[in-house]
Amino acid sequence: MNSPNSRSIPELFSDAVGQLAKLVGNEFELARAELSEKASQVGRAAAMIGAGAIILMPALVLLLFAVSAALIRGGFSEPVAYLLTGAGAGLISAVLIATGMSRLSGDAVKPSVTLDQVQRDKVAAKEMVR
């Protein structure tokens, strides 16, 4: 067997290509794992949005009636009492939806680790070819 210093150029090139192929395969595995994690994150965020909306509906109806009744007893007219309670309910649902949507932003689900690693590997591959 030849020592590492006396290897021929075709052997060195073959090793470099083999290492590059292994590197690309590893990058695909990393990307697959990261995208799976991001998809799971998106699923959890969507579940939170859905759960918040489902739980909010019956609770909101009861709270609207209770708050409206209290406002009416406090001297507000019925239309004003219902308007105030509806606005409060709208604010609560907006907060829940905004929280879920922020977790679905493009930066939150971008496979940043994979993209960074691919950039480093690209530089390393260029150096190997030189």
Q: Is residue 2 part of a domain?
A: no
What was the pLDDT predicted at 80? Answer: 92
Q: Residues with Cβ < 8 Å from 114, sequence gap 6 or more?
A: 27, 30, 31, 34, 35
Q: What pLDDT, in 10s, does the model give residues 3-59?
A: 556 778 888 878 888 887 888 888 888 888 888 888 888 899 999 999 988 987 887
**Residues 16, 22, 26, 31, Cα dihedral to 10°:** 80
Q: Is the pTM of this model over 0.85?
A: no
- The single-letter code of the amino acid at 44 is R
Q: Is residue 3 part of a domain?
A: no
Supply the range of the domain harboring residue 74.
Answer: 8-129
What is the count of structural domains for the chain? 1
What was the pLDDT predicted at 24? Answer: 80
Q: Is residue 12 part of a domain?
A: yes
- The rounded mean pLDDT for the chain is 83
